[in-house]
Amino acid sequence: MSTIEPVRKDIEHLPQIKKYSSSLRLWHWANAIVISGSLITVLINSTILDDRPTAAFLKAQFAEAGAQLTSHQTTTVAHALSDSVWDIHVYFGYALVTLLVFRLILEYFQMTDQKFIRKFKNAYRHYAIIKKQRELARHELAVKAIYAIFYLLLITQAVTGLFLTFEDFFAPYKAIRPSIKSVHNFDMYLILGFIAVHLAGVFLAERKDSKGIVSDMINGGRE
């Protein structure tokens, strides 16, 4: 029997390298849940629990029950309800910061070929230096650039959120609180934009020549 056969069998039984590590997949889906939860709390407080309509609703309901409450009282109750949802928003913020730190640590310990920075550099090299298959290389570089911007948005959201949560510790910088809050709110819309672009991109890729992206992010895929 040829000596090549045992070697071939050994190679065939070697574990194949996953395209996405289990840690990266865990981060991806946990991040999706946390961001969704955070955005939902904002949506609830800006619609269902908006102070003025909620206070008016409470006043009308109490009046029907025979209890007369002042506008100040109903506004206080409405504000308390809103604050309870914001407390949940803060917890989602802590989770987001934890996941962001986890992602930074993961980037250090990832296999070299799975590091985001390495993939970004390779995409740039293929587009700017090697200059082969320019359209494909341009697309790959654009995707990596969008993800790099997304990570910057997450960092901005985390830093501004921590400042707003612990503003008492930053008393000397209280004057810039309105600006920090504006950045935090605007950054949220940019993250929403990324989510929309991301979902649209995955949908189009699944319909064209990159089928299996979603399943790869669930089972890891194969290199």
Domain count, the chain: 1
- 123 within domain boundaries: yes
Question: Looking at residue 65, what is its pLDDT?
Answer: 86
In a domain, 43, yes or no: yes
The angle formed by the CA atoms of residues 79, 83 and 87, to the nearest 5 degrees, is 175
Of the candidates 115, 125, 182, which has an alpha carbon nearest to the alpha carbon of residue 147? Answer: 115
Instruction: Tell me how crowded residue 197 is: count the other CB atoms within 10 A of its CB.
Output: 12
* 3 belongs to a structural domain: no
Assess if residue 12 is contained within a domain.
no
Task: Give domain status of residue 136, yes or no.
Answer: yes
* Per-position DSSP letters for 88-149, written without gaps between them: HHHHHHHHHHHHHHHHHHHHHHS-GGG-HHHHHHHHHIIIIII--SHHHHHHHHHHHHHHHH
The reply to whether 11 falls in a domain is no
Q: Say if 5 falls within a structural domain.
A: no
Q: Confirm if 28 and 221 have CB atoms less than 8 A apart.
A: no
Residue ranges for the chain with pLDDT beneath 50: 1-15
What is the per-residue pLDDT across 118-128, written as a single tens digit (0 to 9) for each? 888 888 888 88
pLDDT given at position 155: 95
Query: pLDDT at position 177, please?
Result: 92
Residue 105: the pLDDT is: 93
Give residue 83's domain range.
17-219
pLDDT, position 222: 67
The whole-number pLDDT of residue 11 equals 35
pTM (global) more than 0.85: no
CATH code, 177: 1.20.950
Whether 9 is covered by a domain: the verdict is: no
